[in-house]
Structure 1
């Protein structure tokens, strides 16, 4: 494959440039797996330069671990990891840029980056970053407390600590609104870590996990586990308003539901994600026609779009993680799997380019993402709930141990991505 952007033979002075927008698990998986392949090339290491862009100064644990972070200051301290502490990526051919991608121009293979919102003195200047391959891994924008809004570890710990202190000092019940995975785990973890606090979970439908394509017996078992954890539940209760108490607003909220029921709550936690894909920097041709803002992809993780004058070299553009239009429930495990495939397939394209002037041309052997059946793993206090094709539903303390260990899976993910491993010397 001849490349009009290529200015010569690939070398340390002219490496393949890979830009990954998004430094959470799918983006990190793409980088780590690509580096593995480039480092282990048979003839000679493939020269590569990877830029990982994120508006945060580090990555924050996904929502199934965030529930515990917002219940315990000790765990909150563990939940945010600065990029500088991801050992495996501390190498000269990897750099982290703190900023927000404003626009990707496939015609020039250039991304426009705005400032550095994670610094104490944010810059408003634009930076242009050129690339040979681009990976969109910016995920979904979610509201607090589903995802922290902080951009640095310092402000994140302050944000989480303020939330934990408010819950700990509650005179009235803590109300968690939303019976999806986030609400379930948050309510159960709050009750487990702070057993003296009264916790109520309110959901607008008659079954928990109502937005997920799961069997009714899974949803019913989730409700049973929530109640077994000591959490009060209000089904068919849609939040209408939560107004500060008068004359002492610091004392809590007067809560009213659309069915007319009312309650007083010390803290109201809206665990309704209202997720919006962070994809406005991509060409419209990359987005699904249903208006969701999700990115259409091929099974190879390459963006699915017609190659046009405005969007040439579509094959060099990938998308992974929560922002893709694909089957299955969005999960951390799936995101890492997709990132891995992107890294491996970019390597295949590199091999094709490197062989373009030789007699023996390389034909890419791509990894392809299969359709993903509905599956889920939930941590509900001291018990776990799992469901997947072939295995059906399981629940109990042993399920929690297998899926989450004693830290809601933080070590499992950390070790799977080898984030604490010493980097290869380049």
Structure 2
């Protein structure tokens, strides 16, 4: 049997080395599912997992709109990796740093950690670094301490507003930011401006979903301005000397806003560390249905990519990211079994993902998928509960421990 490994003897002193770039939904899912399989009592497999992330903890990205609206939720939404109980074990190591380069041919990673740059070899690599999203779509802080300062400053600025808060961009993030802010601070006037005639205009969704999103947003008390493309937001002072923004749109409409929150930044895949041959023209990772990199990449069988950075069908979602991470973990386990036992691997394969969405809008939510559209408070409870899905994700990934 041909082997993808340079050393065929694996023991506790010489385990399989798995390097994961990214410690959010897909990266943690891959690690947890792989460990669960490797821990099997009748045939345990020695493994050493290193998870590299620029942040010092797991941040619940779905909850970002609420984390930037209320301090109590901000405290909850970021959990330092040392408090993720399921991964507090001697064969898992977290590195607070970033990947500079992956050499697929030599299976060597260049990692920056603080002011230090070093190299590290691996047997398997999983890219799970997701998309780079600008402030305030997600916090830019890299430590929990600085994140709480960053989010606290933002919360103070929007909740002490006298003029309306303007959220620019009627995609999922803009809708949720505007609705959560209005829900948490009903006395604050919130306006959502979108350049097109439908909300969610960039998503491959039927008009009934977009129209429902508009209706639910308006029900929260948010004023929605469609066909309003922002042209300028000029700092000024009102009659009381308080700083505001004089806003103008391309249709000539003008308004004064206390704060202007931009929710329209284009997210870009965080894949600079990978070879160009592994990427699509827009920087997403080309993968096979097994989550392995495309065959033209050297040692493609040992390299995986999961989550928002993959070039695949479907709307980028947390559920899909965790599902893809699980497949990567299970498929790596299959390759290990092939190496140890000589049996042909049985891979999990990712199928076509149809357009699906779950959108939280105040106390309501709208969902859409192959089964059709649903909306209302019962959809909110099913998809998000009362914490924008934090408990659902925490328990699904068993982050509080395998028996949590």
For residue 250 of structure 1, report the CA deviation from its aligned partner.
5.4
CA distance in 1, matches of 2:40, 2:5: 26
Pick one of 363, 383, 407 that aligns with 2:344: 363
Judge conservation of contact 2:4–2:302 (CA < 8 Å) in 1.
no
1:126-141 map, 5 Å: 126-141=117-132
Equivalent residue, structure 1, for 2:251: 259
> Which residues of structure 1 form unaligned runs of 5+?
117-122, 356-360
1:295–1:229: structure 2 CA closer, same or farther, 3 Å change rule?
Answer: same
> Which residues of structure 2 form unaligned runs of 5+?
none
Judge conservation of contact 2:95–2:113 (CA < 8 Å) in 1.
no
Residue aligned with 2:126, SS: strand
How big is each residue's C-alpha offset from its partner over 1:251-281, in whole Å with a ceiling of 9 and x where there is no partner?
2111111222111100110011310111111
How big is each residue's C-alpha offset from its partner over 1:387-421, in whole Å with a ceiling of 9 and x where there is no partner?
1102x111111111111111111000000000001
For residue 422 of structure 1, report the CA deviation from its aligned partner.
5.4
For residue 6 of structure 1, report the CA deviation from its aligned partner.
2.8
CA distance in 1, matches of 2:8, 2:203: 50
For residue 5 of structure 1, report the CA deviation from its aligned partner.
4.5
Equivalent residue, structure 1, for 2:369: 388
How big is each residue's C-alpha offset from its partner over 1:73-114, in whole Å with a ceiling of 9 and x where there is no partner?
110100001000100000000000111101000111000011
CA distance in 1, matches of 2:7, 2:203: 49
1:146-157 map, 5 Å: 146-157=137-148
User: Is residue 376 of structure 1 aligned with residue 362 of structure 2?
Assistant: no
CA distance in 1, matches of 2:286, 2:402: 36
Judge conservation of contact 1:136–1:320 (CA < 8 Å) in 2.
yes
CA distance in 2, matches of 1:423, 1:350: 26
1:422–1:33: structure 2 CA closer, same or farther, 3 Å change rule?
Answer: closer
CA distance in 1, matches of 2:20, 2:289: 19
Pick one of 244, 248, 268 that aligns with 1:276: 268
Equivalent residue, structure 2, for 1:120: none
**Alignment length (residue pairs):** 403
Judge conservation of contact 1:91–1:423 (CA < 8 Å) in 2.
no
How big is each residue's C-alpha offset from its partner over 1:323-357, in whole Å with a ceiling of 9 and x where there is no partner?
000000000000000000000000001111112xx
CA distance in 2, matches of 1:198, 1:4: 60
Equivalent residue, structure 2, for 1:313: 299
Judge conservation of contact 1:202–1:237 (CA < 8 Å) in 2.
yes
Residue aligned with 1:233, SS: strand
User: Is residue 55 of structure 1 aligned with residue 54 of structure 2?
Assistant: yes
For residue 127 of structure 1, report the CA deviation from its aligned partner.
1.2
Equivalent residue, structure 1, for 2:19: 19
Equivalent residue, structure 2, for 1:333: 319
User: Is residue 420 of structure 1 aligned with residue 386 of structure 2?
Assistant: no
1:67-86 map, 5 Å: 67-86=65-84
How big is each residue's C-alpha offset from its partner over 1:287-311, in whole Å with a ceiling of 9 and x where there is no partner?
11xx2100011110001131xxxx4
User: Is residue 406 of structure 1 aligned with residue 386 of structure 2?
Assistant: yes
RMSD of aligned C-alpha atoms?
1.5
CA distance in 1, matches of 2:173, 2:227: 18
Equivalent residue, structure 2, for 1:226: 217
How big is each residue's C-alpha offset from its partner over 1:134-169, in whole Å with a ceiling of 9 and x where there is no partner?
000011101001111000001101111111101111
Q: Return the TM-score normalized by structure 2.
A: 0.97
Residue aligned with 1:114, SS: strand
